[in-house]
Structure 1
């Protein structure tokens, strides 16, 4: 929203919205799972942008009784571009969103991976959780040059070390979110999986669609 010239129009955000720095000046309406309906009522927005995966259906249903609510769902890179274009239509910023989408697409198209490493991407520790083939993270893994060993699974399946080892990935990627894997986690897992390479990765690059996608190509290059 900020990158297409709507900073002044944005009246409320979640506590997880942190870019750009000036977003800190906006009213926080709670987290993605515990939205404060009362705070939203005080803001009386003309449009609410929600996400099917991140936001609770009950809260969305309540908001739809009072306000126009657009619910997005992004599982692929193509759907991320469609989402941007739709928001351009909804907010009267068609030209701005088209320009942003083209900038991102050109950047992603210019990236060519020279590898095809079999990878396991972990998003949670206790229990271990990974990503299936119907997720945006999976799409970004493929773009980066990784072959998701859990591509035949759905959404975010629970797994364990035995299953991970049986699938024989070349590399285990430890995300910075939603669980913030740290160096000690990397060392611990490397000892448990000595055959595999273990790497900490920036979860925002793999899971945040929208204008953050501009950073993906350069980040992917830095991984190899």
Structure 2
């Protein structure tokens, strides 16, 4: 028997190790796979694209904001893995009468490490979890040493268009921006993902660099040109959104990606 509390404060008791897992979060699906749980995963979302072959071998139960309740019920899961930001409270509550719903809330590297440790406990993959945590901490320490002499830059990280939206405070993206010494000009907004006016970006914080994420909105060159006209001196840089927003094992690769990003930006 295992009694353990998830990241939103709900305590769960498992009489035995869950063997039928449904994951409603792409980055957590990837993490569960890397912990050696592929055979235990029975359902994923249509956005769970890593590793890609799971889209063929596992049943899709919908998206992250809209799921097929009856399809999930028919799979008879032992546990559903969700996330406070990715999935709605309505979805989580509607699934609780099927089986335990484990909800993560990841807003920092430390939260991500805790999530991996929790998965190790719940699914009896403690050694695998320990190895990934050690890799994460090693690469984090290496990156922190790399970033010491890099300049601090004011930044804006855009995730959507029509309307334009940015990553704000208290988000995993903002935590990784801070780690990279990118000061978020929208960290003073009340909303975690505020709507922003690009033409007012100069007076709202005058960023040195504007990041255009590859997800969830597919920014293109014409959008970079539009933003460039409004910000004048700011560099507009396309970035891999998975590296900035996917928590879990993806962080191990993200630190190496960030090094390449800084090399692209230069030291001026």
Q: Which category of TM-score, normalised to the shorter sequence, fits these structures?
A: over 0.9
Report what 1:89 is aligned to. Answer: 121
Task: Give the TM-score of the pair, scaled to structure 1.
Answer: 0.96
Report what 1:69 is aligned to. Answer: 101
* 1:123 match: secondary structure: strand
Which of 111, 120, 134 is 2:156 aligned to? Answer: 120
Report what 1:49 is aligned to. Answer: 81
Report the alpha carbon displacement of residue 192 of structure 1 after superposing the two structures with TM.
2.7
Residue 183 (1) aligns with residue 221 (2):
yes
CA–CA distance in 1 between the matches of 2:199 and 2:224?
A: 17
| RMSD of Structure 2 on Structure 1 (CA) | 1.2
Residue 149 (1) aligns with residue 185 (2):
yes
Q: Displaced runs of 4+ in structure 1, greater than 4 A?
A: none
Q: Would the aligned equivalents of 2:200 and 2:230 in 1 still touch at CA under 8 Å?
A: no
Residue 140 (1) aligns with residue 140 (2):
no
Q: Would the aligned equivalents of 1:117 and 1:146 in 2 still touch at CA under 8 Å?
A: yes
> Alpha-carbon deviations, 1:82-107, whole Å to 9, x = none?
11111111111112111111101211
CA–CA distance in 2 between the matches of 1:161 and 1:15?
A: 31
> Alpha-carbon deviations, 1:66-92, whole Å to 9, x = none?
201101111111111111111111111
Report the alpha carbon displacement of residue 20 of structure 1 after superposing the two structures with TM.
1.0
Please say which of residues 149-158 and 201-210 is displaced more in the overlay: 149-158
Residue 7 (1) aligns with residue 62 (2):
no
CA–CA distance in 2 between the matches of 1:52 and 1:9?
A: 23
Task: Give the TM-score of the pair, scaled to structure 2.
Answer: 0.81
Report the alpha carbon displacement of residue 164 of structure 1 after superposing the two structures with TM.
1.6
CA–CA distance in 2 between the matches of 1:218 and 1:183?
A: 25
Higher relative contact order (CA 8 A, sep 6+): 2
Report the alpha carbon displacement of residue 194 of structure 1 after superposing the two structures with TM.
1.7
Report what 1:161 is aligned to. Answer: 198
Q: Would the aligned equivalents of 2:158 and 2:166 in 1 still touch at CA under 8 Å?
A: yes
Which of 26, 38, 62 is 2:58 aligned to? Answer: 26
CA–CA distance in 1 between the matches of 2:220 and 2:116?
A: 32
Q: How many residues align?
A: 224
Report what 2:142 is aligned to. Answer: 110
CA–CA distance in 2 between the matches of 1:195 and 1:72?
A: 39
Q: Would the aligned equivalents of 2:155 and 2:207 in 1 still touch at CA under 8 Å?
A: yes
Q: Is there any run of 5+ residues in structure 1 with no aligned partner, and where?
A: none
